[in-house]
Amino acid sequence: MCIYTERPKAVVKVSPDECVFRGERVTLTCDIQGAGDIQWTYSWFKDGSVIRDVTERLYSITSVSDRAVYSCRGERSDSQRSDTSAAVTLTVSDLPRSSLTVTPDSPVFTGETVTLKCVIESDYSDWRYVWYKGANNSVISQTSDRYTVNRDTLSIKALNESDQDQYWCRGQRDERPNSSQESNRIHLSANGSGQISVFSILSFLLAACPYLLSTVVLLFKCYRARVTSTEDQSQYAVTEE
């Protein structure tokens, strides 16, 4: 039989670290120092309030989301308790942000080559880029005749209607943080041929700039007047001879 002169001390250990990234899995361990093989029932506290239905030595948070303070305490079957542990603060940071850009800007026409670029706001350089397409989160992992994945860029050659969909990206790495946030989603729409006739351009300019038509007419009249004047002078010179 063990006789304690003072209450056993409880200590909270954190894995992987007290500084964690949002969405990571965190495991808290309540160690009763000097308790030997005695069976304890554990109580866990978050921000001073007891966490219900958690009585095990290990407490796992599947996906941590917010900053919080945790502590624990052990209790034996004879109602003897340990001291409540010192509080441990989990500091939660956002995963690195990622953004997706497209070249050329919309509108994009069928037959064009489109390049998507994934930019991750991070000092780490060992990212592996994962590309997604469509509502079913299909992963674009292999280079095909028209799809070329080169780390942070995805190129689509000869864009056609089958390519019309939403695209986005995410970064992954072996060390923490293991992932970036999902990027914004870009929806590609393949419009008709990008060839525009000179007539279409002039029609647009004339419709957008009504003064342009007046200027063109005035310049044409000035040109005709100058040509007529030159012809009259030439005829006069011939007559003088």
> What does the pLDDT read at residue 240?
40
Element containing residue 233 per DSSP (H, E): helix 210-240
Q: 103-135 pLDDT, tens per residue?
A: 998 788 999 999 999 999 999 999 999 999 998
For 127-167, the pLDDT digits (tens) are: 999 999 998 888 987 777 899 999 999 999 999 999 999 99
**What's the pLDDT at 226?**
66
pTM of the model: 0.66
Same domain, 73 and 134: no
How many CB atoms neighbour CB 162 within 10 A?
8
Q: Within this chain, do residues 209 and 165 fall inside the same structural domain, yes or no?
A: no
Query: What pLDDT is recorded for position 29?
Result: 97
Q: Are residues 110 and 134 in the same domain?
A: yes
One domain, residues 187 and 225: no
My answer on whether 76 and 102 are in the same domain is no
* CATH code where residue 21 lies: 2.60.40.10
Both 114 and 148 in one domain: the answer is yes
The pLDDT assigned to 216 comes to: 55
- Same domain for 104 and 167? yes
* In-domain check, residue 1: no
What was the pLDDT predicted at 224? Answer: 63
E strands present in the chain? 10-15, 19-21, 26-32, 41-46, 49-50, 58-61, 68-75, 88-93, 98-103, 108-109, 114-120, 128-133, 138-140, 147-150, 153-156, 165-172, 186-188, 190-191
Q: How many domains does the chain have?
A: 3
Measured CA to CA, the distance from residue 19 to residue 64 in angstroms comes to 11
pLDDT < 70: residue spans in the chain: 1-5, 35-36, 193-241
Domain range for 209 is 198-235
